[in-house]
Structure 1
């Protein structure tokens, strides 16, 4: 999704965010939705749009909080919420809400496949865009990250499109799963997680962005 294509949802979301910037603490926008729907693309584009409005924004990715491959292998499932260090995510979000200007956090490095430490600089940050599959969930077992979110957004797409995009993402990795491995990962991990954990959080969204097969969008708002 290109920046110009997103001017519609940008306009409404930014207007709401700017209206909510009334304290010295960063305003938190949460972007939820299934794997491959475009959360990261939208978050990065929203960051650029906010900076064009003179606001300092950073993006916080839930994917950075994945556990190491060794830990995830010991869990014994294809994919579920236990593969994410939910406690570390909450700790970081709590620090943001507390107004800490600097946070040392753990980050999963996809290149080295190791957990590393990094410093998050928040001095002068106006908006934190938190994106990830559980970003606007209010369920305790999924971290209840909605507790820290000022403006929840959900990106939605047809199941067939989500599958197609997720498989394409996998094929672009340096060492992708085989087609058979990916089918198993989808059927035993991604799809159950989508139905059980991700889609229920859609009801928490202030704005819902529907993305079609051609990457066109429509945006709706709902009372929460």
Structure 2
């Protein structure tokens, strides 16, 4: 599926126009990235350059800062009207998009750049992966083959987590997920202590499900969707699979999720990976992820090499 025309409530900004719009404001962005730091921030086998940071992400951080200031003013006015004290409530950014589209790199890069502005402890990041039901639960419910689809997530628990963030709870925790074993880690958590900005990243951050009819995005102060043509995403997915396969083959860890794939002929492994894309990830994208795209406040459209060529900014 290719990118459709934007709906009337989005303004489309070309890459170079976005760069120019943000030039003055992005001069105030404090972070000075080096190639080494950028390499550490990007997700496994992802692609991003310092030019991409300058053209897209520094202006984006400048824009987020304006939204953060407005958020603080709105909360102050509301508290004054209600004659109530203004309570702490983090500014929440949601990042959505398909598998392999680069959500993790975007989230980690934004966290790093925003930490330079607000302080390291003031910008937190979590993924929705930890709110997947455990593999044991999925097997018991007969939906293991639906892992990643909406019903495989514990959405009530995820909504409770995001609600606690917005309520300004002093400390909250998120379950840990291991991609090495492709499962939730029992009784292991990441802890967060009321940051100023909270970034939540995952394929389902703009979704609602029957067991949790409220949209996660209702809790967001800014939502971002990473978009690309489906054929490109499929290519990135298979590229990442091959890289993971090679890495796992070198490590020779039988506990690794990809280990069993290394024990079969390469062509067979690739064939099975394509089948996973066509029967799991593609239907999930077309039926559940892509339809949420226009709930986002801002859409980053990618082309070959993960280069962002257009920004769709919601007008109203």
TM range (shorter): 0.7 to 0.9
Q: 1:116 to 1:210 in 2, by over 3 A?
A: same
User: Over aligned residues, Cα RMSD in angstroms?
Assistant: 2.2
Residue 195 of structure 1 deviates from its aligned partner by: 0.6
Q: State the TM-score, normalized to the length of structure 1.
A: 0.88
Distance 1:59 1:44, change over 3 A: same
Instruction: Work out the CA distance in 2 between the residues paired with 1:161 and 1:38.
Output: 12
The 3-state SS of whatever aligns with 2:287 is helix
- Tell me, what secondary structure is at the counterpart of 1:77? helix
Q: CA deviation at 1:191?
A: 0.8
Partner of 1:207: 298
**Contact 1:32 1:136 survives alignment (8 Å):** yes
Is the alpha carbon distance of 1:4 and 1:43 closer, same or farther for their aligned partners in structure 2, counting shifts above 3 Å?
Answer: farther
1:1-224 pair list within 5 angstroms: 1-21=48-68, 22=72, 24-55=88-119, 56-73=122-139, 74-79=142-147, 80-111=149-180, 113=183, 114-123=185-194, 125-137=195-207, 139-141=208-210, 144-171=215-242, 172=244, 174=248, 175-176=257-258, 177=261, 178-218=269-309, 219-224=311-316
Q: Matches of 1:64 and 1:12 in 2, distance apart?
A: 31
SS of the equivalent of 1:152 reads strand
Structure-2 change in CA distance of 1:128 and 1:2 (3 Å): farther
Q: Relative to structure 2, which stretch is displaced further, 60-69 or 146-155?
A: 60-69
Is the CA contact (8 Å cut-off) linking 1:30 and 1:131 kept in structure 2? yes
Give the number of the structure whose alpha-carbon radius of gyration is greater.
2
Count residues in correspondence: 222
Q: Residue deviations 1:86-105, cap 9 Å, x none?
A: 22211110110110121133
Structure 2 spans left out of the alignment, 5+ residues: 1-47, 76-87, 249-256, 262-268
